[in-house]
Structure 1
Amino acid sequence: MDLKDFERKFEEIKKNYAEPKRTNELTNLLEEMEREYGSVKNWGNEEDTPYLETPQMILYRNISMAREL
């Protein structure tokens, strides 16, 4: 899946699912992104800052923040 596909799926989930199914679907989407783009690592230094601002990571964070935990 490319980034646009992930964006479309994110919008579809937000629009069509209610909790708790919504959070489950968002979590599944995050897992798909991790498989596609690599596992998300823990960041703790400035060397990682450019990586955090990629379109993939911005979308990943938006999806993550949309979940109800």
Structure 2
Amino acid sequence: MRRNALRLLRPTALNPDDAQQQRKAFRIFLETLLLAELGEHLINDPAFQGMVDDIQTVMERQTETQVLIE
């Protein structure tokens, strides 16, 4: 999938009534940033998805980075 297509499709999947909308939006941001740096070919790699999960969890738990997320 081309990066432009990813950017256009992902945000439309966010529901404004979803209580997890902010968390999901941040995950999309992380994925996009990491894919730009590491290569789009990783988008469907389970190890990449696990890495994004780990990074997001760490960032959400650290006081210093919580401010950046919110």
- Provide TM-score, normalisation by structure 2: 0.42
More helix by share: 2
> Quick one: higher RCO (CA 8 Å, sep 6+), 1 or 2?
1
